[in-house]
Amino acid sequence: CISALVPLQSCQCLAWKPHPVVACGAESQHVVAGYSDGTIRVFSISRTEMELKMHPHAVALTAIAYSTDGEMILSGAKDGLVAVSSPHTGMTIRVLTDHRGSPITVLQCTRKQYHDFGLEGCELWLATSSDQRVSVWASDWLKNKCKLLDCLSFPAPAGPESLSSLLPSLAAFCPWEPGTLVYVGFGMQKEAVFYSLHKKQVVEKISLPYFATSLSLSPAARFMAVGFGERLLRLQPCPAGAAHDYAGHEDAVHRCCFAPSGARLLTASHSTVLLWELQGG
């Protein structure tokens, strides 16, 4: 247990360090955590100890991710700032202000080469904020290059502020459609939106029964898991097909996460974590 190593602080987000491609399938021994005091801590799982502490933010962290090669840590905070820090030196090498004023809800990186979009870089990454905005970047951190590829803003109706604040804006790169991302959040319609970075347009929409509170895309098959505040989990084929709905949570399903194999799915609500075994695919 490493929780006792950080007293009096609340852990807001976690991410496993990815392994190099040559070690694919091995279990990572490092995890990075973001805290309510604006700090980042890197832990060794094997030694059960903290290896590094950084303080790139002035307010609580809300999202965190490793770059695809594990050489950089991307962190987002409640004030909308995104920091890029080195786990080797502890230095923050870049701060991005494009989402300033709105909490970061998602950070995700994916392997892409510069020729995919005509930009120099070795990976794509996205940041999503609670005001229905998504920014997509092409980066090569070793060369200190970071270029904005696209910036999306999804419309939302005027409504009770309490409603929009309870519904996160969520986006993820689509594993089976390169150059496509999926977005769910409080909007004009209850739906999942597929956006093509190549075509610069929405290419598909899938209707949902409620506004989503969590999202995960399968790395092994063309379907996604969507959680709702109505205690419901939906497995949705893509493109749109017959969906399967499952109950079992006692509260809003605020977290969905496919295993790398796609054979299992973790979902979480207030006090329940469920492990789903997925058949077929």
Residue-level pLDDT at 22: 46
When pLDDT is averaged across residues 73-81 and rounded to a whole number, the result is 97
Homologous superfamily assigned to 154-280: YVTN repeat-like/Quinoprotein amine dehydrogenase (2.130.10.10)
Residue-level pLDDT at 23: 46
Distance CA 266, CA 273 (A): 7
Mean pLDDT, rounded, of the chain:
87
Q: What is the largest CA-CA distance in the chain?
A: 50
Residue-level pLDDT at 161: 60
Torsion angle defined by CA atoms of residues 123, 127, 132 and 133, in that order, rounded to the nearest 10 degrees: -70
Distance CA 91, CA 235 (A): 41
Summarize pLDDT for 184-203 with one digit per residue, the tens: 999 999 999 999 999 999 99
Q: pLDDT band for position 84 (50/70/90)?
A: very high
CA atoms within 13 A on the CB side of 260: 8
Residue 223, pLDDT above cutoff 80: yes
Q: Are 43 and 50 in contact (CB under 8 A)?
A: yes
Summarize pLDDT for 224-265 with one digit per residue, the tens: 999 999 999 999 999 878 999 998 888 999 989 998 888 889
Summarize pLDDT for 130-182 with one digit per residue, the tens: 999 999 999 988 888 899 999 999 988 876 665 556 689 999 999 999 899 99
Residue 3, pLDDT above cutoff 70: no
Residue-level pLDDT at 261: 83
**102 CB neighbour count, 10 Å cutoff:** 16
Residue-level pLDDT at 49: 82
Q: pLDDT band for position 25 (50/70/90)?
A: very low
**237 against 272, higher pLDDT:** 237
* Structure token pair of residue 270: 């207030």
Residue 47, pLDDT above cutoff 80: no
Distance CA 82, CA 18 (A): 20
Distance CA 41, CA 61 (A): 11
Residue-level pLDDT at 48: 74
CA distances from 86 to 21, 64, 155 (A): 20, 13, 35
When pLDDT is averaged across residues 53-57 and rounded to a whole number, the result is 95
Q: What residue spans define the domains of the chain?
A: 154-280
Distance CA 233, CA 280 (A): 18
Name the residue with tokens 């084929």: 237
Residue 270, pLDDT above cutoff 90: no
